[in-house]
């Protein structure tokens, strides 16, 4: 132990740091990081403290040292923030599902707005742009329509829950306060009935066992339910008995699907999917638009906030019925169909072929014939479309977390649509891309953060840009 302490002291000395590993100190927390960790400083050296809040004086133990920053474990709160709340979830401190339940909800919304402002200024060098207060939820609980729950085994029975932070230890749960109540019911029924029939859980270490994950989907507007069983084998033991009992025990169940994933991987879904019972799709609506949702469909997980997000995108697009709109990264057509309600024509692009098939099906479901969808990379399809002489009055982009491809940004700059509406799930890549668009002749007019994931650090934004 003495040798270890000496080694840690040497490490701090070599890095010329004001703290040592395992040292206990008091800190004043000045801010929150983008990961939701408290930020304190010792002689200018940054220390991140999970669970601490701005304004708090805390006692901590240093756990990790880097040259520019370190991490510490919260030991005691010497003086608490007025924004501190008692987390209502009994497994909150162990589960890695959400990280801000201890933070007052209105304070969370302010934090997310500040996060966007800081990224715009620091990364995008964008000053003086209106960033509106974050649009939050009246009831920021039970908002998720989809759960992806890893399954494990303890003392012969199945357990299911989310992973502990930074690990693959499953924290068993009966209820998750950010999931729809029906998701809890579905997962618990699968655990109970699969345990009854002795269906073994998958074990990552040995790559043996059958049941890897249970994925549930809930139609908020329709009440329709889907269960997807992710299995490590083509054969599902006691399949008929399991499915019949699930159908008997669960009202509103419309679909039981098996997805087969036999790879050693952290990716949840495999390539093969088949319906074991019921329908291939369940249905839900956002605003006046109806959507068919399959086992593999990407569909926004918070439909209440999605309607607010897309309504803001529609407002920023300012459509009069005369515009041609391009929707890059269109997915299953959610934004495209929202825009098609007011546009002359919408052209949607998406790299995932199954998503495009879903998008076409959703357009037909809503009787919309002013939408066209094409499979491919937006950064290749849209430039090719542009060279054929097609023009976009409004460009809408809703990229993944990595942001827009540079080739797509350059195409936007070349095409010169009058308006660009950027929907973002990552403030840092948003700021980077806005800088490129600003340098290419666009002006960022206003930014609207939307809280899609209460009690987590994630924030979505809708941004309006005009051609200068």
For residue 22, give the CATH number of its domain.
Answer: 2.40.50.140
Beta bridge partners of 58: 27, 77
Q: What is the DSSP letter of 279?
A: -
Same domain for 381 and 460, yes or no, is yes
pLDDT at 2: 47
Measured distance CA(53)–CA(81) in Å, rounded: 7
pLDDT at 164: 84
Count of structural domains, the chain: 3
Q: What is the dihedral of CA 197, 198, 203, 207, to 10 degrees?
A: -90
Q: Which residue has the tokens 């959610």?
A: 334
> What region does 340 belong to: left with phi over 0, alpha with psi -120 to 50, or beta?
alpha
Instruction: Name the residue range of residue 175's domain.
Output: 146-286
Q: What is the phi/psi pair of residue 298, to 5°?
A: -85, 125
pLDDT, tens only, 8-48: 555 666 678 999 999 999 999 999 999 999 999 999 999 99
pLDDT at 362: 96
Do 355 and 286 form a contact (C-beta atoms < 8 A)? no
Would you say residue 299 has pLDDT above 60?
Answer: yes
- The average pLDDT across 301-319 equals 96
Q: What share of the chain is helix, strand, coil (3-state, %, to 5)?
A: 25, 35, 40
Q: For the chain, what percent of residues have pLDDT higher than 70?
A: 97
Would 95 be classed as within a structural domain?
Answer: no
3-state SS, residue 11: helix
Q: For the chain, what percent of residues have pLDDT higher than 90?
A: 88
Q: What is the phi/psi pair of residue 160, to 5°?
A: -155, 135
pLDDT at 12: 65
Same domain for 186 and 218, yes or no, is yes
Non-local (6+) Cβ contacts of 127 within 8 A are 121
Would 87 be classed as within a structural domain?
Answer: no
pLDDT at 13: 63
Q: Which of 193, 185, 235, 232 is nearest to 213 (CA)?
A: 232
Would you say residue 162 has pLDDT above 70?
Answer: yes
Catalytic residue among 95, 98, 404, 425: 425
**CA 450 distance to own-chain centroid:** 13
- The average pLDDT across 280-298 equals 94
Same domain for 402 and 255, yes or no, is no
Strand residues in 108-172 grouped as ranges (E): 130-131, 146-154, 157-163, 170-172
Q: Which of 31, 64, 79 is the last residue of a domain?
A: 79
Q: Which of 263, 265, 276 is nearest to 232 (CA)?
A: 263
Residue 311 has which token pair?
A: 């309504």
Same domain for 227 and 349, yes or no, is no
Same domain for 433 and 351, yes or no, is yes
Would 103 be classed as within a structural domain?
Answer: no
pLDDT, tens only, 228-274: 999 999 999 999 999 999 999 999 999 999 999 999 999 999 999 99
Across 124-152, b (16+ Cβ under 10 Å) vs e yields bebeebebeebbbbeebbbbbbbbebbbb
Which of the residue ranges 3-12, 298-307, 335-344, 354-363 would you say has the lowest mean pLDDT? 3-12
- The average pLDDT across 329-351 equals 95
Same domain for 179 and 131, yes or no, is no
Q: Which of 232, 253, 286 is the last residue of a domain?
A: 286
Same domain for 249 and 309, yes or no, is no
- The average pLDDT across 434-444 equals 98
- The average pLDDT across 426-442 equals 98
pLDDT, tens only, 121-147: 999 999 999 999 999 999 999 999 999
Helices (H), 63-179: 105-122
Residue 385 has which token pair?
A: 């479309």
Same domain for 338 and 453, yes or no, is yes
Q: What is the DSSP letter of 194?
A: H
Mean pLDDT of the chain: 94
Q: Which of 286, 310, 344 is the last residue of a domain?
A: 286
Residue 5's pLDDT band (cuts 50, 70, 90) = very low
Same domain for 150 and 210, yes or no, is yes
Q: Which of 253, 215, 209 is nearest to 235 (CA)?
A: 209
Would you say residue 157 has pLDDT above 60?
Answer: yes
Q: Which of 442, 418, 458 is nearest to 124 (CA)?
A: 442
For β-strands 324-328 and 394-397, DSSP reports them as: parallel
Q: In what order do the strands lie in the sheet with 419-424?
A: 130-131, 442-450, 460-467, 419-424, 394-397, 324-328, 345-350, 371-375
pTM of the model: 0.92
Would 206 be classed as within a structural domain?
Answer: yes
CATH code (residue 268): 2.40.50.1070
Residue 191 has which token pair?
A: 């655990």
Would 414 be classed as within a structural domain?
Answer: yes
Same domain for 326 and 427, yes or no, is yes
Measured distance CA(54)–CA(41) in Å, rounded: 12
Would you say residue 3 has pLDDT above 60?
Answer: no
Would 133 be classed as within a structural domain?
Answer: yes
Same domain for 319 and 447, yes or no, is yes
pLDDT at 448: 98
pLDDT at 384: 87
Residue 155's pLDDT band (cuts 50, 70, 90) = confident
CATH code (residue 344): 3.40.50.150
pLDDT, tens only, 68-78: 999 999 999 99
pLDDT at 9: 57
Would 296 be classed as within a structural domain?
Answer: no
Non-local (6+) Cβ contacts of 251 within 8 A are none
Would 324 be classed as within a structural domain?
Answer: yes
Residue 348 has which token pair?
A: 């949607």
- The average pLDDT across 136-164 equals 93
Strand residues in 224-370 grouped as ranges (E): 225-231, 253-260, 272-278, 282-286, 289-293, 324-328, 345-350
User: Is 425 among the residues known to form the active site?
Assistant: yes
Measured distance CA(61)–CA(370) in Å, rounded: 61
- Positive or negative, the Cα torsion across 255, 284, 424, 127? negative
Same domain for 279 and 338, yes or no, is no
Q: What is the DSSP letter of 133?
A: P
């Amino acid at each position: 132990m003495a040798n270890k302490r000496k080694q840690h002291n040497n490490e701090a000395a070599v890095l010329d740091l004001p703290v040592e590993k395992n040292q206990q100190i008091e800190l004043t927390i000045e801010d929150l990081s983008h990961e939701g960790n408290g930020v304190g400083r010792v002689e200018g050296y940054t220390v991140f403290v999970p669970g601490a809040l701005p304004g708090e004086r805390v006692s901590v133990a240093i756990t990790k040292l880097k040259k520019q920053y370190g991490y510490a474990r919260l030991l005691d709160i010497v003086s608490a923030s007025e924004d501190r709340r008692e987390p209502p979830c009994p497994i909150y401190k162990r589960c890695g599902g959400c990280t801000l339940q201890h933070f007052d909800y209105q304070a969370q919304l302010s934090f997310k707005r500040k996060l966007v402002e800081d990224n715009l200024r620091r990364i995008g060098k964008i000053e003086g742009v209106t960033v509106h207060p974050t649009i939050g939820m009246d009831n920021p609980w039970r908002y998720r329509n989809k759960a992806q729950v890893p399954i494990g085994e303890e003392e012969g029975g199945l357990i299911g829950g989310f992973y502990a932070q930074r690990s693959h230890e499953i924290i068993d749960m009966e209820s998750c306060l950010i999931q729809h109540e029906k998701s809890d019911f579905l997962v618990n029924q699968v655990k109970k009935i699969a345990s009854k029939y002795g269906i073994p859980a998958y074990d990552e270490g040995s790559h043996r066992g059958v049941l890897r994950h249970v994925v549930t989907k809930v139609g908020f507007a329709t009440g329709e339910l889907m269960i997807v069983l992710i299995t490590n084998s083509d054969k599902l033991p006691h399949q008929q008995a399991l499915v019949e009992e699930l159908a008997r025990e669960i009202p509103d169940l419309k679909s039981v699907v098996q997805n087969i994933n036999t790879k050693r991987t952290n990716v949840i879904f495999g390539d093969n999917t088949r319906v074991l019972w019921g329908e291939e799709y369940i249905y839900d609506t956002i605003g006046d638009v109806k959507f068919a949702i399959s086992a593999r469909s990407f569909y926004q997980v918070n439909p209440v906030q999605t309607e607010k997000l897309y309504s803001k995108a529609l407002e920023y697009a300012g459509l009069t019925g005369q515009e041609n709109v391009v929707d890059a990264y269109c997915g299953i057509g959610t934004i495209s169909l929202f825009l098609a309600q007011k546009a002359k024509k919408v052209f949607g692009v998406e790299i995932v072929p199954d998503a495009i098939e879903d998008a076409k099906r959703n357009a037909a479901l809503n009787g919309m014939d002013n939408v066209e969808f094409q499979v491919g990379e937006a950064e290749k399809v849209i430039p090719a479309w542009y060279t054929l002489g097609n023009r976009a009055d409004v460009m809408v982009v809703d990229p993944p977390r990595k942001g827009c491809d540079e080739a797509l940004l350059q195409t936007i700059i070349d095409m010169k649509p009058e308006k660009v509406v950027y929907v973002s799930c990552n403030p840092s890549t948003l700021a980077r891309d806005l800088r490129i668009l600003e340098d290419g002749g666009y002006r960022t007019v206003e930014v609207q953060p939307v809280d899609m994931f209460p009690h987590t650090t994630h924030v979505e934004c809708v941004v309006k840009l005009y051609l200068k």
